[in-house]
């Protein structure tokens, strides 16, 4: 395959995930990823700064989707209702490829450096949601509390979803998790 063939980025992401599952993250090199994708290492670096970023390439899109859904939530929505709208948008984008998501998660959980990167991503998502809530007029600490709570719901729901062999859609699992949170907090 030539380096200019379609979807080089997607092929690199898929090749990397396959190799990370087969060999482990630490044992996989950029050259091996590029070779598996039918590309060169030089082409790899046109798309990704390093081999970690292959796993996190969609983070900016996810953040954009979350914040965009938050911004278009009805004006009368409570902070958590606006966050729920953002979670629906996250479920739409994250819930497309169950097996891929399961494998990606297993690779991340097997490596401390990747777990740290995942936590950093979650903190960035929370900060972006809190900023969006503040722009909607939600004061502190309510904006941060609602944003952090939303990210916890996302993480728990995503974990439930990938652990099921034949799960319901991620959006449904996300709503069920949010309902569970409301049940837990109602029992003070």
**Per-residue buried b or exposed e for 29-66, using 16+ beta carbons within 10 Å of the residue's own CB:** ebebbbebbebeeebbeebbeebbebbbeebeebbebb
Whether residues 136 and 71 share a domain: the answer is: yes
pLDDT at 3 over 50: no
Distance CA 27, CA 39 (A): 19
Query: 54, 72, 87 — which closes off a domain?
Result: 54
Give Cβ neighbours of residue 103 (< 8 Å, ≥ 6 apart): 17, 21
Is residue 69 within 8 A of residue 125, CB to CB? The reply is no
**Nearest residue to 100 (alpha-carbon basis) of 57, 135, 71, 137:** 57
pLDDT at 171 over 50: yes
Q: Which residues in the chain belong to E strands, given as ranges? A: none
Please check whether residues 125 and 153 belong to one and the same domain. Answer: yes
Q: Binning pLDDT at 50, 70 and 90, where does residue 1 land?
A: very low
Q: Are residues 87 and 169 in the same domain?
A: yes
> Does residue 127 sit in the same domain as residue 141?
yes
Query: In 3-state terms, the chain is what percent helix, strand and coil (to 5)?
Result: 75, 0, 25
pLDDT in tens, 126-159: 999 999 999 999 999 999 999 999 999 999 999 9
Nearest to 19 by CA among 9, 31, 7, 32: 32
Task: State the pLDDT at residue 5.
Answer: 60
- Rounded CA-CA distance 65/88 in Å is 10
Together in a domain, 92 and 180: yes
For 179, the domain range is 58-186
Give the predicted TM-score (pTM) of the model.
0.89
Question: How many domains does the structure of the chain reveal?
Answer: 2
Q: What is the mean pLDDT of residues 16-34?
A: 97
């Amino acid at each position: 395959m030539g380096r200019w063939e379609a979807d080089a980025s997607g092929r690199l992401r898929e090749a990397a995930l396959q190799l990370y599952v087969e060999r482990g993250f630490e044992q996989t090199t950029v050259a091996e990823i590029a070779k598996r994708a039918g590309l060169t290492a030089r082409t790899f670096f046109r798309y990704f700064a390093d081999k970690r970023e292959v796993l996190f390439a969609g983070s900016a899109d996810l953040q954009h989707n979350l914040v965009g859904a938050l911004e278009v939530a009805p004006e009368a929505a409570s902070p958590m209702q606006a966050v729920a709208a953002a979670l629906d948008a996250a479920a739409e984008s994250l819930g497309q490829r169950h097996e891929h998501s399961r494998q990606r998660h297993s690779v991340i959980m097997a490596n401390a450096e990747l777990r740290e990167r995942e936590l950093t991503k979650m903190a960035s998502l929370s900060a972006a949601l809190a900023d969006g809530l503040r722009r909607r007029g939600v004061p502190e600490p309510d904006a941060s509390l609602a944003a952090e709570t939303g990210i916890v719901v996302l993480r728990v729901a995503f974990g439930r979803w990938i652990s099921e062999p034949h799960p319901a859609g991620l959006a449904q699992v996300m709503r069920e998790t949010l309902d569970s949170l409301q049940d837990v907090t109602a029992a003070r």
